[in-house]
């Protein structure tokens, strides 16, 4: 029968392929990678491999990395308040062991070009390690995802096209927002050769990343957003904020002009970030859509928006996948956003 671990693991990667790819990419970023390559086989149904050139895994951690709740990223409970890494729950690799065939090849700077191939039992216990050639970094190969949850697997097979589109969406978001990190994405159909999907060049700006991902033509139809406004202190906590920077909010990114018929190159693409981390912000999407309606445009805009604000101004981790963000003073914030965005469009030459 199915173990509790398998079922709980299914919840951790609740968004299916999207969660898997997100966790693996974030592990690469946490390891200071400047290059992340993602290789899909059959849109991810057969295999997902994420190859980074980051720090690699230290041999003393081989036995632990796939154990439930083990993480190298926290040293004390107090650190939870100041986590700067993406992952801190130690659940991704453990869940993948329970749900797929997982294989890791890794090498630290001092070991390369010698590396180690690691295989695990379903429980997360290290099954085997062997020497292999490897460059500095880590390659995580996930095959047959959800093989232990037949109903989830069937569901994934049925919805693979839609799932794959969603995964590419999240990869585009990371590739756009991560400056100085080169992303390359490939897919290999069941019968056929590996083909590139998109790639960025390790650019120093988000602008160049967006151009790489969506094309120079798409970029030319976008208005750069660089909104900055001060929050009116409505909460006691906010009022007490010592540094003035704690009251400032910046919204940086790109948005399609509110002109009927324009911005069709990338319709319905809406990517939100809080301090550079992809997340769901339906409240912000709603506010921006309202501004569009004000300009009598009903088609939904392309949005690539990084909300930069003090970490005291929001809560993360309210959902299992950490992507839902609770903004304090949300109503105020959305009002200020609508005013600034309306000004931006009014002042922008059309």
Nearest to residue 260, comparing CAs of 297, 216, 209, 289? 297
Site string for Mg ion, 82-121 (x = CB under 5 A): -----x----x-----------------------------
Site string for ligand ADP, 85-104 (x = CB under 6 A): --xxxxxxxx----------
CB-wise, 106 or 270, nearer to ligand ADP? 106
Residues in contact with ligand ADP, shown as a per-residue x/- string from 133 to 152 under the rule CB under 6 A: -----x--------------
Chain positions 10 to 49 lying near ligand ADP, rule: CB under 6 A, are: 23, 27-28, 31
| Smallest separation (angstroms) from Mg ion to the CB of 285 | 27
* Candidate list 45, 47, 48, 65; residue touching ligand ADP; CB under 6 A: 65
3 state SS of 50: strand
CB–CB of 134/104 below 8 Å?
A: no
Give the closest residue to 73 by CA, choosing from 52, 92, 98: 92
Rounded to a whole number of angstroms, the CA Rg of the chain reads 21
**Residue 184: strand, helix, or coil:** strand
Q: Which does 205 bind (CB under 5 to 8 A by kind): Mg ion, ligand ADP, none?
A: none
From the list 52-60, 126-134, 194-202, 268-276, the region that binds ligand ADP by CB under 6 A is 52-60
Q: Between 100 and 270, whose beta carbon lies closer to ligand ADP? A: 100
- Whole-angstrom CA distances from 75 to 83, 88, 344 are 10, 10, 45
CA geometry: angle at 9 spanning 6 and 15, to 5°? Answer: 130
Nearer to ligand ADP, 43 or 53 (CB): 53
Say if residues 183 and 212 touch (Cβ distance below 8 Å). Answer: no
User: How far is Cα of residue 75 from the mean position of the Cα atoms in its chain?
Assistant: 24
- 288 touches 334 (CB < 8 A): no
8-37 binders of Mg ion (CB under 5 A): 27
Tokens linked to 246: 């704690």
Nearest-5° angle of CA 200, CA 202, CA 204? 115
Nearer to ligand ADP among residue 23 and residue 246 (C-beta): 23
**Min dist. Cβ of residue 72 to Mg ion (A):** 10
User: Interface residues with ligand ADP (CB under 6 A)?
Assistant: 23, 27-28, 31, 52, 54-57, 61, 65, 71-73, 87-94, 138
User: Interface residues with Mg ion (CB under 5 A)?
Assistant: 27, 87, 92
């Amino acid at each position: 029968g199915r173990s509790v671990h398998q079922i709980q693991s299914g919840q951790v990667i609740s968004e299916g392929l999207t969660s898997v790819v997100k966790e693996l990419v974030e592990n690469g970023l946490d390891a200071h990678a400047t290059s992340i390559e993602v290789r899909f086989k059959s849109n991810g149904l057969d295999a997902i491999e994420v190859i980074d050139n980051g720090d690699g895994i230290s041999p003393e951690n081989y036995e632990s990395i796939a154990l439930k709740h083990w993480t190298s990223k926290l040293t004390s409970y107090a650190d939870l308040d100041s986590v700067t890494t993406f992952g801190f729950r130690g659940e991704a690799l453990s869940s993948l062991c329970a749900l797929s065939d997982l294989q890791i090849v890794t090498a630290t700077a001092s070991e390369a070009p010698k590396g180690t191939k690691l295989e695990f039992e379903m429980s997360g216990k290290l099954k085997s390690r062997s020497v292999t050639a490897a460059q500095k970094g880590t390659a995580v190969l996930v095959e047959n995802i959800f093989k232990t949850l037949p109903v989830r697997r069937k569901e994934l097979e049925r919805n693979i096209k839609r799932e794959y589109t969603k995964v590419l969406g999240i990869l585009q978001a990371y590739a756009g927002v991560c400056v100085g990190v080169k992303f390359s994405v490939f897919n290999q159909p069941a019968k056929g050769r590996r083909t590139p999907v998109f790639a960025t060049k390790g650019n120093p700006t988000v602008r160049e990343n967006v151009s790489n991902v969506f094309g120079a033509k798409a970029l030319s139809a976008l208005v750069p957003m660089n909104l900055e406004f001060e929050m009116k202190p409505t909460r006691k906590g906010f009022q007490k904020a010592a540094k003035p920077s704690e009251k400032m909010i910046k919204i940086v990114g790109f948005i399609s002009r509110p002109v009927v018929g324009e911005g069709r190159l990338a319709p319905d693409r809406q990517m939100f970030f809080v301090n550079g981390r992809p997340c769901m912000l339906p409240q912000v999407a709603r506010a921006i859509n309202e501004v569009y309606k004000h300009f009598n445009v009903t088609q939904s805009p392309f949005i690539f928006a990084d909300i930069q604000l003090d970490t005291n101004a929001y809560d993360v981790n309210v959902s299992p996948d950490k992507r839902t963000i609770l903004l304090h003073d949300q109503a105020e914030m959305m009002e200020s956003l609508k005013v600034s965005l309306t000004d931006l469009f009014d002042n922008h030459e059309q």
